[in-house]
Structure 1
Amino acid sequence: MLKVLMGCFYLLVLVVFAFVMVKFISQRMKSTFKPRKSNVGYAAEINPKTAAPQLLNQILLMLPGENNEVLSRLSVLAEDGNQAEIDVLLICPTGIYLFNSINESGYVTGGEKDRQWYVLNEDGNKKAFKNPLDENRYNMQALLRRYPEIKEEWVFDYVVFSNRCGISDVHLETTSPVLNRKMLFETLRGQIAEQSVILTPERIQYLYNRLKLYTAGESTASLSLQRKADKPFYKGGAAKIHEVKVPDLTRFSPEDQCLKNKLIAFAKEQSQREQTTAAEVLDRETIEKLVNMKPESRIELETVQGMDKKRCENYGDLIISIIKQHDDETSNKRQ
């Protein structure tokens, strides 16, 4: 009798053990990746909707460099009429870096040519989202179209997932960086160290001033200007950076209309000397862009759409002189 009872007891133990093992294995098959708990503590002032870009900002601000600038949540009008949303953008001496920040939790699958990628959550639910590499290409083209002064070879893009995502099953055919947030600093620092310097401090500041006009208003004040105030980059003090205003080709103040007339007169006079048309010297659209942007240096002049190399070399100094003289006259009248 005792042997029968012992046998039943052992049989019951084996059944329980088998049930537990089956349950465990089925759970593992349901979700092959269990995201670890994030040890990132969100500050009370961080909005959950914008937490990922803000965390990226903190990482990018730690990169070495005196003239780096970081912008968040840019909205640029694309060719199809929709808004291209850029989460975070870094401008530094080696180029312009776009970041697509994805704050999900789970196991990510997808390929470069797939229209959609998927994230498998811990509870087994699968969530689809648009291919982030396609989004980066769309955003990059919108940026290049809106700012023709930016060259395509200056721009690099990253897809950054939260540390709670597994990305080992993401299939890439190119070297487009797709990584976790914890890997970003070292990866980006290594890339920047290998790249050649292509942007001067003045051009970085100019691009920052232009691009910040299209942010959601949450970008920090210019870091390079703060650094220059503490430790001047140039001898004789911090450089004066010309702030540009939003281009508006539909309205002109009396002062701007006066400058426009001066540039039109200059184009006519110059065309008579060269026996060509005024539009060959400066066309109407270029004149309006000059009036709106009022470049104060050759670097700023080169970024004005319509001011090609030939125009900058032939008329650049004269145009800058006309704009400076006009600004001085306007300032004196106001005094």
Structure 2
Amino acid sequence: MSQLLNEVLGSVFVALLSFAVPLFLICGTIVYTKVKRYKQSQYFAQTGHRYIKVVQDIGLYGEYRCVAELEARRLAPLILTNLYLPHPTKRDRTTEVDVVFIDESGVHVIESKNYSGWIFGREQDRQWTQALSNRKKFKFYNPIKQNELHMRAIEQLLHLDRSYLHSWIVFSDRSTLKRVESSSVPVLNRKIWAKQMMASREPRLTAAERIEVYERLLPYMNASIEVKEAHIDAIRQTKSPLG
């Protein structure tokens, strides 16, 4: 009886092992590929964030996915992330820009909202709504207004005409833009946004001008810990939704 039991247990162990080892190898290969791709990205080069930190942070992962979409569609695109720019209206304050992409059509200012669920909002509303499947609802500041502040900051810093600047609001592909009304600023899911970004537009900037814009914004990317902490403190003190 004990011999039969041992044979059965041995057979079960072998069966489980034959299933688990290939599964482990497949999962390991997928993770290795994703980590390798991440470490080759401009997002990693610019932020230095570990991959595990990025995938565990909804905001950071959304920014990385925007950068990854651009890199998948353009050869060596000019991208800047997490810019801390002088606030356009308040002295000794900064405003944080998620992602900036510079191409021949101008400067693209990208506000990433890596949210899931249904999204409701109009261009003129102060707050928008996220509705989840568990019927919970959350309010968040209108991303169009939020990115308008970023646009003004870049406009003042670079002394560029507004026609050179393009505002984009990018939501996760896990979200549904249920009732979103915007006539002047594109509000799109990430995959659709990436395709529209690559659509041909009127060339506005020469190669030299694109490099000049990039170099003028570059110093604002590697903000010190003190600048980042001051930015967060200012938001907390004023309870301002603008970041």
TM-score by length of 2: 0.66
Partner-residue secondary structure (3-state), 1:58:
helix
The answer for the alignment partner of 2:204 in structure 1 is 198
Give RMSD over aligned pairs.
Answer: 2.0
SS of match in other structure, 2:73: coil
Task: Indicate if the aligned counterparts of 2:158 and 2:213 stay in contact, CA closer than 8 A.
Answer: no
Percent identity of the aligned residues? Answer: 24
SS in 1 for 2:152: helix
Q: Show CA shifts across 1:82-112 (max 9, x none).
A: 3221110000111110110001111111111
2:164 aligned to which of 144, 154, 160: 154
Whether 1:129 and 2:140 are equivalent positions in the alignment is: yes
What is the match of residue 117 of structure 2? 106
CA distance in 1, matches of 2:135, 2:157: 42
- 2:233 aligned residue: none
Going by fraction, where is strand more abundant, 1 or 2? 2
Give the count of matched residue pairs.
Answer: 172
Q: Which amino acid aligns with 2:79?
A: V
Gaps of 5+ in 2: 1-29, 36-50, 224-243
Greater RCO, 1 or 2 (C-alpha within 8 Å, sep 6+): 2
Is 2:188 the counterpart of 1:182?
A: no
1:95 and 2:95 equivalent?
A: no
What is the deviation of 1:121?
1.3
CA distance in 1, matches of 2:61, 2:191: 15
User: In structure 1, the residue corresponding to 2:205 is in which secondary structure?
Assistant: coil
Q: Which residues in structure 2 correspond to 1:162-241 (within 5 Å)?
A: 162-172=172-182, 174-190=183-199, 193=200, 195-216=201-222
Unmatched segments (≥5 aa) in structure 1: 1-39, 218-335
Question: 2:72 is paired with a residue of what secondary structure?
Answer: coil
Quote how far apart the aligned CAs of 1:46 are.
4.9
The amino acid of 2:209's aligned partner reads: R
Amino acid at match of 2:198: R
Task: For 1:182 and 1:202, locate their aligned partners in 2 and report how far apart those are by CA, in whole Å.
Answer: 30
Q: Does 1:52 align with 2:59?
A: no
Shift of 1:151: 2.1
Equivalent position of 1:77 in the other structure: 86
Q: Give 1:222's aligned residue.
A: none
Q: How far is 1:175 from its partner?
A: 3.6
TM-score (norm 1): 0.48
Distance 1:59 1:144, change over 3 A: same
Contact kept? 1:94, 1:197, Cα under 8 Å: yes
What one-letter code is carried by the residue in structure 2 that aligns with 1:54?
Y
> 2:170 & 2:117 partners in 1: Cα distance?
14
Aligned 8 A contact 1:91 1:208 in 2: yes
